[in-house]
Amino acid sequence: MLGAVVIGIGTAGCVRIRDMLVPLRGSPAEKLAVKGFISRRSLEPQQGVSRISLEEALGRDDVHVAFICTENMSHEDNVRMFLQAQKHVCVEYPMTMSYKAAVELWDLAEEKGVILHEEHIELLTEEYKQLKKEVEGKTLQEGTLHFTGGALKPGFGFPSFSGIARLTWLVELFGELSVSAATLEEDPANSYSKMTAKLLTSDNRSLTWIEERQPGLPRAKNINFQFDSGPLTQIPPAPRGTVGLFMQDLIHFSAKLAGQVSPEELQRERVRVLHCLELAGKIQELCQG
Ligand code: NAD
């Protein structure tokens, strides 16, 4: 068994504890045993799991794995501490707020001989899987992905990083991208922000990614993809899967811990994660430049 701790008891952290307490039967997630959680708040036990100190988690021999579920801005420091202590790390996306820091963390994981995994539940949704099927084999002319959502809490960072799930969709659907322009409109008085990034595919097809947020805006993803064969303007409806998204991610992570994921697959994920973080950094630079 591998002992695990959860850092950050928000929505994601609570789900991590729940899933480790009741893992999918017959899956490699059964090999994880939650030993405690770490919080800046002095919380009572959560789901029967007790709070422990950061120092204890880093020092204990029966803690092998850390789940970093804090707000985005503190992921990097937490990941680094646990990798230094030679613990495997699963971090909720985005891993860091810069490409350079993510490269350093991945190098550190390699040096320490541990797994570094970034959760990407957006790639595990049935709607994404259905969309991927629809897009496969089609030639893109141009497209838009427009996300709307409510305001984010502090600590979630620049929209190209907090919205990396949408960027990851575009990269997984259309391959390596480059950034040609990006702007950010803000109206602080109304907590409004709209980031517009102009992206290009490797064969110079234009993709526009918009992240628009304001309190009360419905959480939605609108697409408009123009293909040689015609348009796709709606994400195809898909029934909900039987296994929860975080559970699917937990199984994938624990398969990595069990050595069941090929080096080629690990490398493919690393390249994709770093590519998205690099794009997010360029978008931020252009918006702030
Ligand atoms: P959250 O706001 O629920 O929790 C974030 C952090 O805030 C946690 O460290 C939590 O301990 C802390 N926190 C929450 N309430 C607090 C309070 N009252 N006082 C002090 N600290 C408090 O955020 P989340 O949705 O759990 O997101 C955490 C990470 O997971 C983020 O990196 C996010 O990108 C990622 N993520 C979340 C989801 C999701 O569905 N929630 C999905 C994918 C990725």
Q: Measured on CA atoms in the order 121, 20, 54, 112, is the torsion positive or negative?
A: negative
The reported pLDDT for the residue numbered 22 is: 98
CB atoms within 10 A of CB 243: 12
251: left (phi over 0), alpha (psi -120 to 50) or beta: alpha
CB atoms within 10 A of CB 288: 9
Quick check: CB of 175 below 6 Å from ligand 1?
no
The reported pLDDT for the residue numbered 230 is: 97
Nearest CA to ligand 1 atom 13: 10
The reported pLDDT for the residue numbered 166 is: 98
Interhelix angle 245-257/11-21, rounded to 10 degrees, is: 60
Give distance in angstroms: CA of 151 to centre of ligand 1. Answer: 14
Give distance in angstroms: CA of 98 to centre of ligand 1. Answer: 19
Quick check: CB of 155 below 6 Å from ligand 1?
no
Give distance in angstroms: CA of 142 to centre of ligand 1. Answer: 35
Quick check: CB of 249 below 6 Å from ligand 1?
no
Give distance in angstroms: CA of 271 to centre of ligand 1. Answer: 26
Integer CA distances (angstroms), 250 to 120, 124, 128, 209, in order: 11, 11, 18, 29
Atom of ligand 1 nearest to the CA of 9: 11
End-to-end CA distance of the chain: 49
Spatial CB neighbours of 223, under 8 Å, sequence gap ≥ 6: 131, 143, 144, 145, 146, 232, 233, 234, 235
Give distance in angstroms: CA of 7 to centre of ligand 1. Answer: 10
Q: Can you tell me the distance from the alpha carbon of 94 to that of 71, in angstroms, rounded to the nearest whole number?
A: 10
The reported pLDDT for the residue numbered 207 is: 98
Q: Can you tell me the distance from the alpha carbon of 175 to that of 200, in angstroms, rounded to the nearest whole number?
A: 10
Comparing CA positions, the residue from 162, 123, 130, 121 lying closest to residue 250 is: 121
- The encoded tokens of residue 262 equal 């090929």
Place of tokens 């984010």: 152
DSSP state string for 205-256: -EEEEEEEE-TT---EEEEEEEETTEEE-SPPP-PPPSS-HHHHHHHHHHHH
Atom of ligand 1 nearest to the CA of 91: 32
Quick check: CB of 153 below 6 Å from ligand 1?
yes
The reported pLDDT for the residue numbered 217 is: 97
The reported pLDDT for the residue numbered 60 is: 98
Atom of ligand 1 nearest to the CA of 41: 20
CB atoms within 10 A of CB 241: 13
Residues of the chain short of pLDDT 50, as ranges, are none
The reported pLDDT for the residue numbered 38 is: 98
Quick check: CB of 39 below 6 Å from ligand 1?
yes
The reported pLDDT for the residue numbered 193 is: 97
Q: Which DSSP category does 176 fall into?
A: S
Give distance in angstroms: CA of 143 to centre of ligand 1. Answer: 31
CB atoms within 10 A of CB 86: 13
Return the beta strands (E) in the chain as ranges. 2-7, 32-38, 65-68, 88-91, 116-118, 140-149, 177-187, 192-201, 206-213, 220-227, 230-232
Q: Can you tell me the distance from the alpha carbon of 118 to that of 243, in angstroms, rounded to the nearest whole number?
A: 19
Quick check: CB of 180 below 6 Å from ligand 1?
no
Quick check: CB of 121 below 6 Å from ligand 1?
yes
Spatial CB neighbours of 135, under 8 Å, sequence gap ≥ 6: 173, 174, 225, 227, 232
